Amino acid sequence: MKLYPAIDIKGGRCVRLTQGLWETATDYGDPIEMAARWQADGANFLHVIDLDAAFSGEFANHDVIAKLVQSVKIPVQVGGGVRTKEDIRMRLDDIGISRVILGTVAIKQPELLEWALAQYGDRIAVAIDAKNGMVAIKGWVNATEVDAADFAVQMRNKGVSTVIYTDITKDGMMQGPNLEQTERIVKSTWMNLIASGGISTLEDIKNVRGTGASGCVIGTALYDGAFSLPEATLAAK
| H/E stretch holding 104 | helix 104-108
CA distance linking residue 173 with residue 175, whole number of Å: 5
Residue 8, SS3 per DSSP: strand
CA distance linking residue 227 with residue 201, whole number of Å: 7
63 carries an active-site annotation:
no
Q: Establish how many alpha carbons lie within 13 A of residue 216's alpha carbon, considering only the half-sphere containing its beta carbon.
A: 34
CB–CB of 102/113 below 8 Å?
Answer: yes
Beta bridge partners of 7: 48
Q: DSSP letters of 168-215?
A: TTTTTT-S---HHHHHHHHHHH--EEEEES---SHHHHHHHHHTT-SE
| H/E stretch holding 135 | strand 134-137
CA 46 to chain centre: 9
Least confident of 47-51, 130-134, 162-166, 226-230: 130-134
pLDDT band, residue 217 (cuts 50/70/90): very high
User: Which of 50, 129, 167, 171 does the annotation list as catalytic?
Assistant: 129
The overall average pLDDT reported for the chain is 91
CA distance linking residue 197 with residue 119, whole number of Å: 30
CA distance linking residue 206 with residue 118, whole number of Å: 35
Q: Is the pLDDT of residue 65 over 80?
A: yes
Each residue's pLDDT tens digit, 78-126: 999 999 999 999 999 999 999 999 988 898 899 999 999 999 999 999 9
CA 101 to chain centre: 7
Query: Within 10 Å of residue 223's Cβ, how many Cβ atoms?
Result: 20
171 carries an active-site annotation:
no
CB–CB of 49/6 below 8 Å?
Answer: yes
> φ, ψ for residue 52 (rounded to 5)?
-60, -45
| H/E stretch holding 143 | strand 142-147
Q: What is the mean pLDDT of residues 164-189?
A: 82
pLDDT band, residue 19 (cuts 50/70/90): low
